[in-house]
Amino acid sequence: MTGLVERTAAFVRDVVIPVEERHRGVVTSDEVRVELQNAAKAAGVFAPHVSKEYGGHGLDMRARAAVFEEAGYSLLGPLALNIAAPDEGNTHLLEVVATERQRETYLRPLAAGEIRSCFAMTEPAPGAGSDPGALTTRATRVDGGWRIDGHKWFITGADGAAVTICMARTSGEPGETGGATMFLVDADNPGMKTVRHIDTLDESLYGGHVELVFDHCVVPDDAVLGEVDEGFRYAQVRLGPARMTHCMRWLGIARRAQDIAVARAAERRLFGSRLGELGMVQQMIADNEIDIAASRGLIRQACEELDAGRSAAQSTSIAKTFCAEAIWRVVDRSVQICGSLGISGDVLLGRFLREVRPFRIYDGPSETHRWSIARRVLRRHDQGGRSGRS
């Protein structure tokens, strides 16, 4: 395990960061993606999260934390290791839920980096977003399969994805918590159409954020992923781990930003001393270290619960909320320490700032998580429990 962490750190430093700096953190070329992933395979660091049966290292959540953090030290590290969203979360979902045929058709090439995928859940208002129960996309039975009709947007990675995991309502009405089903939709299905690429603050997630329409999109019965009407339950299989792997990856960028800031504070001289000898700068450096250490601890706690087979709903919500805000603080302070250099194109801090800001919105906005955290605490109190316990 330690060896894999060290190899990942060396690979990111020596191979990935030069590519990242050359492309300013944003890659749209499949040629570059394949080149990076082939290099990761050669270095023995590819697909740490995938089971050995499908060519990976088979790490549990706790073991992934350190590896994913090292990969996240570069914006392109997760892409190189094939642990970027949404493929990483979809790989986990397919391993747990898919049939043997579906695993061979979709999981095996996805785990090998031969294809990419996306997860189509989010809809324009009043559809599914922070409240998944608002799901409006509907699938109805037809001869030999299902017809999907609906509107999705902010579907990360959809451009070039070979398969889309689409969440659609198969029973009930919007506002109800049940009745959803997951469907595997191939890219060449004529009923799935791209409307546009949505212009967003962040740009580094491969395949962009796309608006899709499902219009008489017919899929066969064996395109159902898992059981009919159980989609929301399966979403929980993906959700908790995916939130934590987001935290792990972005924590790597927070460390990178801190390293850039510390290097600047150590070399820049003004007012007769090094920048790092000024008390206000020392406070920002110290606060960064505190946020990084606290984030790592919360990730570890949540991962222990996930590995133990617990729901970890409270611990993942706490970790996601804290990490999303702490990582932003670290990058923002790092920009401030570096001054004019920090907002220039000479370092990537400005890019990091744009990339981490949306994390406070996707995978559940901080406000939604706080609401859920408080509700669980109050429910536990009503049941005679004590605060601070999952």
Rounded mean pLDDT, 167-175: 96
Lowest mean pLDDT among 252-256, 273-277, 315-319: 273-277
Rounded mean pLDDT, 344-366: 96
Strands (E) across the chain are located at 117-120, 138-142, 145-156, 163-169, 180-186, 192-197, 209-220, 224-225, 269-270, 273-274
The pTM score is 0.95
Domains of the chain: 2-84 (1.10.540.10), 117-229 (2.40.110.10), 232-382 (1.20.140.10)
Distance (Å, whole) CA 91 – CA 246: 15
Q: Is 377 helix (H, G, I), strand (E, B) or coil?
A: helix
Judge whether residue 335 has pLDDT over 90.
yes
Could you report the per-residue pLDDT of 191-203, keeping only the tens digit for each?
A: 999 999 999 999 9
Task: Output the CA torsion sign for 324, 325, 330, 334.
Answer: positive
Percent of the chain with pLDDT over 70: 99
Could you report the per-residue pLDDT of 267-286, keeping only the tens digit for each?
A: 999 888 999 999 999 999 99
Could you report the per-residue pLDDT of 96-127, keeping only the tens digit for each?
A: 999 999 999 999 999 999 999 999 999 999 99
Percent of the chain with pLDDT over 90: 94
Judge whether residue 366 has pLDDT over 90.
yes
Lowest mean pLDDT among 243-247, 253-257, 298-302, 380-384: 380-384
**Residue-averaged pLDDT of the chain:** 96
Half-sphere exposure of 7 (CA within 13 A, CB side): 14
Judge whether residue 1 has pLDDT over 90.
no
Distance (Å, whole) CA 36 – CA 100: 29
137: closest CA among 86, 186, 180? 180
Could you report the per-residue pLDDT of 32-89, keeping only the tens digit for each?
A: 999 999 999 999 999 999 999 999 999 999 999 999 999 999 999 999 999 999 999 9
Predicted confidence at residue 390, as pLDDT, reads: 54
Could you report the per-residue pLDDT of 214-227, keeping only the tens digit for each?
A: 999 999 999 999 99
Rounded mean pLDDT, 337-345: 96
